[in-house]
Structure 1
Amino acid sequence: FIHQNKLNDILKVIQPNDYLFIQFGHNDEHSGSGSSPFTTYKAALQQYIDGARAHKAIPILVTPVARRSFDSQGNIVDTHGNYPVAMRQLAAADNVQLIDLTALSMAYFQKAGPTGTKSLFFFLNAGVSPDFPNGVADNTHFQVNGAIQVANLVAGAIKAQNIQPLASYLQ
């Protein structure tokens, strides 16, 4: 995003007291990404934090949402390695609000289980969609219902952490 000038695009329009939710790390753990959790990743996050603060906006770090990955015993598996750890460290060190969506989504998916989470993620049987005639089993991307549930986790964290004034707008 930084190399694609997406951060600059954001900073051109961000206003004082706007919130900038910063969530990266979902794809960074793949080998060959060129990212390392405690160096380049934290440095990139810091650019977003500094950019928001320079414009008197409010940065909020959000750890990456969990993937649908379960072990043979049906326990959710953390696939993000040290990226959430690095983000938590940066949030604490730089006094940035943090929503730990990794932990929240892992707990939610664990409760739903391997079968229950299929309705959240992009799973289609063969013949359901002309775009996916053979069906699809995607453990990363969400269906509408899954996206709504993840948004509810974030909204719940905003309320639970009393992030004001945002929390006052949520029911």
Structure 2
Amino acid sequence: MRPFSVFLMACLLAACAIQPDTSSHPTLFLVGDSTMADQPEHKYPEHGWGQMLPEFLTPGIRLQNHAMNGRSTKSFRDEGRWQTVVDQLKAGDIVVIGFGHNDQKSQDPTRYAEPWTDYRANLMRYIDEVRGKGAEVILVTSIRRRHFDDQGALQKTLGDYPMVARQVAKDMSVPLVDLNQLTAHWLSEAGPAASKQLYMHTVPGQYANLPPEGKQDNTHLQVEGARQVAGLFVADVKRQQLRLARWLK
């Protein structure tokens, strides 16, 4: 073979070697509650932070957002939503799991999970099942609710649930993105007034699809709030140099 042909063949082989293998691209599954979920158009401008995550992803990873309004670690499994995820999992996939807001609703037996017993056991079972499929888990703690006292200090409303998630992550050697802590700093920096633009605080008549009197919601995020929380998640994944960072812009 002439030298030029050898060189050309080497170039072709190298080009083939660097082409992405789309069959091996992982899927990123999001599992959680309304603060993470894709919100329907009729609820605009409410968005879950997972709804904004595609803005931060490269084409090398697929995203499935299975987070759903009102769900807890208990009800998400009981309704068969978790099995839908497990049935699709393959080695190399990544599952982000974040609950807590609805697990604390003790008045509702279909959702309530006591933090140090049921909630802890539920998280551990999720982790075991993901690992059993050769996939990876990232735990996230629940985002803070926008509750300030009269002095403008941010209040805790989620009880022991964030602490339990941190402990489970430590005990099971699972990466943790502590959105509870990150959004606490974020909200405190914004303060009581400016943070209304991040959460679902709207004025009367601002959106035709919402009640005419507007909405005052300290749990759910508006579009920009959801985008910023997604950014907090992305920044911490990069800081920890987690495998998911390979597919983040």
Query: Would you say same fold, with TM above 0.5?
Result: yes
Equivalent-residue separation in structure 2 for 1:110 and 1:157 (angstroms): 18
Task: Please name the residue that 2:234 is paired with.
Answer: 155
Using structure 1 for the length normalisation, give the TM-score. Answer: 0.95
| Cα displacement string for residues 29-73 of structure 1 (whole angstroms, at most 9, x for unaligned residues) | 233243111100011111210111011010111000111111111
Misfit runs of 4+, over 3 Å: none
Aligned residues: 170
Is structure 2 residue 233 aligned with structure 1 residue 145?
Answer: no
Does residue 90 (structure 1) correspond to residue 168 (structure 2)? The answer is yes
Instruction: Give, as a single letter, the amino acid of the residue that structure 1 aligns with 2:198.
Output: L
Which stretch shifts more, 124-133 or 109-118?
124-133
Partner residue in 2 for 1:105: 183
Note the C-alpha offset of 1:168. Answer: 3.0
Task: Tell whether 2:86 aligns with 1:29.
Answer: no
Q: Which of 20, 24, 48 is the matching residue for 2:95? A: 20
Look at both structures and tell me which one has the larger radius of gyration over its CA atoms: 2
Correspondent of 1:5 among 60, 80, 101: 80
Aligned to 2:127: 49
Cα distance in 2, alignment partners of residues 31 and 55 from structure 1: 32
Q: What is the distance in 2 between the residues matched to 1:61 and 1:108?
A: 19
Unaligned stretches of 5+ in structure 1? none
**What is aligned with 1:62?**
140
Distance 1:88 1:127 in 2: 41
Instruction: Supply the distance in 1 between the matched residues of 2:195 and 2:103 (Cα, whole angstroms).
Output: 23
Higher relative contact order (CA 8 A, sep 6+): 2
Root-mean-square deviation (CA), in Å? 1.1
The residue type paired with residue 158 of structure 1 is V
The equivalent residue for 2:156 is: 78
Is 148-157 or 28-37 further displaced after alignment? Answer: 28-37
Question: Which letter does structure 2 place at the counterpart of 1:4?
Answer: E
Which segments of 5 or more consecutive residues in structure 2 lack a partner in the other structure?
1-75
Matched, 1:125 2:200: no
Cα deviation, 1:151-170, whole Å, max 9, x if unaligned, reads 00100110111102x22333
Compute the displacement of 1:14 (Å): 1.4
* Per-residue CA distance 1:124-155 (angstroms, 9 max, x = gap): 11111223211111101111111101100100
- Aligned-partner Cα distance in 2 for 1:60–1:170: 15
Distance 1:112 1:29 in 2: 26
Cα distance in 2 for residues equivalent to 1:30 and 1:75? 24
